[in-house]
Structure 1
Amino acid sequence: MSLPFEDLQSPLEEIEFLARSPNRVRVLDALRAGPMNRHDIEEETGVSRATLARILGDFEQRGWVTRDVRRYETTRVGDYVAREFTDLLQRFEPVPGLNEVVEWFPEEGLDFDLGCLSGAEIIRPTKSDALAPTTHITQRLRTADRVRVVSYSHLSDVMEECRRGTVEGSLKLESTVDREVLNRIGTDPRMIDYAREMVESGRAEFYWYEGTIPFTVFLVDDRVLLCLSGGEGAPRAVIETTDETIRSWAESTIETYRCESEVLDPRSFTE
């Protein structure tokens, strides 16, 4: 049974009809797998019998579901609604987490579709670990084979881990920093020694970029780590993802900065 023409809902009303009831979403999504009887739908969704009866009745009325004796299945319209609404939910999945860190996003540079961050891990400071984002970076570096990074800041803990990996291990490192970072490293004797040892190991390459780098991005093997610090040094949060689109963006961005930078000679650290 379909709704009469005068009772047709607006798109927003249809979205609201589904969005205000997770049970409706579960049932409609379950039916996309193929015809099912009520018992199977109950088992698949965990929706109670009484609630399921109301939902299926509403779906039949809208023309999203048809019934053949005791089996229900989506119509072409119902399948379309389920598919599009599921896609919409997936697009919105990153929003709650991003809302908590959006204030630290750089004003420019991260020019990829934020929808690609669906499923990404967001690491923030906790009461027990105020340095959780930095700790996460060093842990990833500890087991990495290759690291590429562009950055407007340097962190002592990260630098120490890079030194350990390149000088004492087999880590291959490529780092591109801007002039401000280069100047800060040049005033720290310990960082100068670390950088010189890393380059002399033959497993590290340093480049310096004359302009300003607006973000810090690590490409650690197949993982991308986006460091959010609000323009300050230590990251307030780290977003980690293996999304192919973002990884392609990271590779292209890092390569662009490297090609526009100058090789940093080890002797520069001691002058």
Structure 2
Amino acid sequence: MSLPFDDIQSSLEEIEFLARSPNRIRVLDTLTAEPMKRHEIEAGTGISRATLARILDDFEDRGWVIREGKQYETTPVGNYVAQEFTDVLKRFAPVPGLNEVAQWFPEEGFDFDLGCLAGAEIIRPARSDALAPTTHITRRLRTADRVRVISYSHLSDVMEVCWRATAERTLELESIVDRGVLERIETDPRMLDHAQEMVESGQAKFFWHEGPIPVTVFLIDDVVLLCLSGDEGAPHAVIETSDETVHSWAESIIDTYRCEGEVLDPRLLTE
């Protein structure tokens, strides 16, 4: 049911009151932890005495804070406002970074709540490192014990690291690729040799999927890397997260494409 206009207006006024002042948010959040004296709030937030006095007066007028003696504490309404507003801020936290890379999202997006990417690290190319996303993937791989990946693109630097790590028996690899990547391996003798050696090491398993794979996802130990490549091969950006929901999603989508795919023995490609 839609909210009446008056309810929307009054709600926006309350939201605007907090949103236009980070200091108000900090004071309210600080007071939800425990009652405090004014000088304790000042020391904990770094807000000037005069500004803090105005904020506390405003909160008292709104019924969000009460004063008992020299101590201030939040009321039930104040606690509610602080919790709800903090939740909104957390939900919006990933938006600025995601706006910069959303153009490379899979066509149908990701099948999880984007709020799960709050706190995720977004790696993009920089002037000092134009290949920063790929460099980040290879850096992660060098210290990994187990990797699962589905991909519609081939990254030679990534395969090189996987080849060395499996040959040294420090990495266990499971890779699911589509026909395009398979054809790329078939036409490159060096990659084909590497793939064969990886299988022979007993540390790597390859699967290929007849249909298209919509995303490139690395599950490196407990970390998920979402590679944003658009229609191209090399990633324009990488999103790294340890969020449990995203991790479960990554496990699920990798399992799905592995079950739908066929085991690939690179030695058969030369016959």
> TM-score range with shorter-chain normalisation?
over 0.9
User: Are the aligned partners of 1:149 and 1:218 in contact in 2 as well (CA < 8 Å)?
Assistant: yes
* Conservation of the 8 A alpha-carbon contact between 1:195 and 1:269: no
The AA in structure 2 aligned to 1:15 is I
Corresponding residue for 2:129? 129
Maintained 8 Å contact 1:106/1:231? no
Alignment of 1:1-271 (within 5 A): 10-108=10-108, 110-271=110-271
Q: Is the 8 A contact 1:124 1:133 kept in 2?
A: yes
- State the alpha-carbon separation in 1 of the partners of residues 69 and 29 from structure 2: 21
The equivalent of 2:3 in structure 1 is none
RMSD: 1.3
Q: Identity across aligned pairs (percent)? A: 76
Q: Give CA-to-partner distance per residue, 1:91-145, whole Å, 9 cap, x none.
A: 1110111111111111125211100001111100000110000000001000100
Q: Displacement, 1:207?
A: 0.2
CA offset digits 1:3-46 (Å, max 9, x no partner): xxx9xx71111111100000000000000011111000001111
Instruction: Supply the distance in 2 between the matched residues of 1:148 and 1:269 (Cα, whole angstroms).
Output: 22
Letter in 2 for 1:36: M
> 5+ residue gaps in structure 1?
1-5
**Per the alignment, in what secondary structure is the counterpart of residue 254 of structure 2?**
helix
Give me the TM-score of the superposition, normalised by structure 2: 0.95
Identify which range, 161-170 or 20-29, moves more after superposition. 161-170
Unaligned regions of 5+ residues in structure 2, if any? 1-5
TM-score, structure 1 normalization: 0.95
Match of 1:3 in 2: none
Shift of 1:235: 0.2
Partner Cα separation in structure 2 for residue 89 and residue 268 of structure 1: 54
Query: How big is the shift at 1:70?
Result: 1.3
Shift of 1:158: 0.3
In the alignment, the residues of structure 2 paired with residue 195 and residue 267 of structure 1 have an alpha-carbon distance, to the nearest angstrom, of 8
C-alpha separation between the residues in 1 aligned to 2:213 and 2:128? 32
Provide the secondary structure at the position in 2 that maps to 1:219.
strand
Instruction: Name the aligned partner's letter for residue 174 of structure 1.
Output: E
| 2:33 aligned counterpart, secondary structure | coil
Partners of 2:169 and 2:260 in 1: CA distance: 29
Runs (4+) of structure 1 moved beyond 4 Å? none
Contact 1:147 1:221 in 2 (8 A): yes
Is the Cα contact below 8 Å between 1:109 and 1:214 reproduced in 2?
no
Cα distance in 2 for partners of 1:20, 1:52 equals 15
Partner SS state of residue 107, structure 1: coil
Contact 2:227 2:235 in 1 (8 A): yes
Amino acid at match of 1:181: V
